[in-house]
Homo-oligomer: A and B are copies of this chain.
Amino acid sequence: MVKSDQFSITPIVASSSLRTLAYEALKAAITKMDIYGRPDEVRLDERKLSQDLGVSRTPVREALTVLEQEGFVRSEARRGVFVIKKTKKEIVGMIHAWAALESMAARLACERATDAQLKSLREIFPEFYEGKPSEHIDEYSDANIRFHQTIISLGQCEVIQDLSSNLLMHVRGIRNTALRQGERAEKSIREHVQIIKALEARRDDLAERLVREHGLGLAAHVHQYGDYLE
């Protein structure tokens, strides 16, 4: 019997469930808004949200449950759902956890990633490699995030990737803000180059240490200068 291998079936749209759509809409709204800019807590109204999204409360509530689980909102019975403002201490803690996971990913990448994959790290920030990053902060912010995400993906450990991506959503804004303070962008780039070299040389201990110190440096910076968070 002939298998229907020649049929490359379209992947099926499988348009997500309303719950997923609501989740994505809400998460986008939350991460987009500048929580730390405003002094008051933001309250979410289930009924208003379901009206605005054009669905019933059920999928909205399920989406909110997931967001609560991920630490984006907090639900108080008969009081309301509130967008969580992380404290400085919590953010520093998240950066510590991030550093732990990313440094392990770097170690794993040393033994698992191909040369070609490691090379892709250099291509992430070609124009800044020798240039003046402080003049291209916006572009570099994205490249910076992508650099770290790439290292984590090269570790090829799904659990670490999942945990990290969750942490990233919480600290993305902070990372980019810190980059604009002092000479951190230049420092960051120098450290990135050292990390790439260690990875390419397959020096797992060194790569792990450099990634960890890079992360801990950010944590210390936020700890010292992150008072705007509270």
Contact = CB atoms under 8 A, between A and B. Distances in A.
Copies in the complex: 2
Name the interface size band of chain A: 20 to 34
Nearest to A63: B65
Interface in A51-110: 61-62, 65-66, 69-70, 77, 90, 93-94, 96-97, 99-101, 103-104, 108
A159 B93 contact: yes
Contacts of A160: 93, 96-97, 100
Contacts of A94: 159
A158 interface: yes
A40 B150 CA distance: 37
A163 B104 contact: no
Contact of A77 (B17, B62, B65): B17
Nearest to A212: B104
A169 interface: no
A177 to B, nearest CB: 19
Which of A99, A159, A163 has its CB near the most chain B CB atoms (within 10 A)? A159
Contacts of A158: 90, 93
A157 interface: yes
A226 to B, nearest CB: 15
Interface string A161-188: 0010001000000000000000000000
A96 B77 contact: no
Given A90-B158, A158-B90, A163 B65 contact: no
B69 A159 contact: no
A159 B164 CA distance: 12
Interface of A: 17, 61-62, 65-66, 69-70, 77, 90, 93-94, 96-97, 99-101, 103-104, 108, 157-160, 163, 167, 212
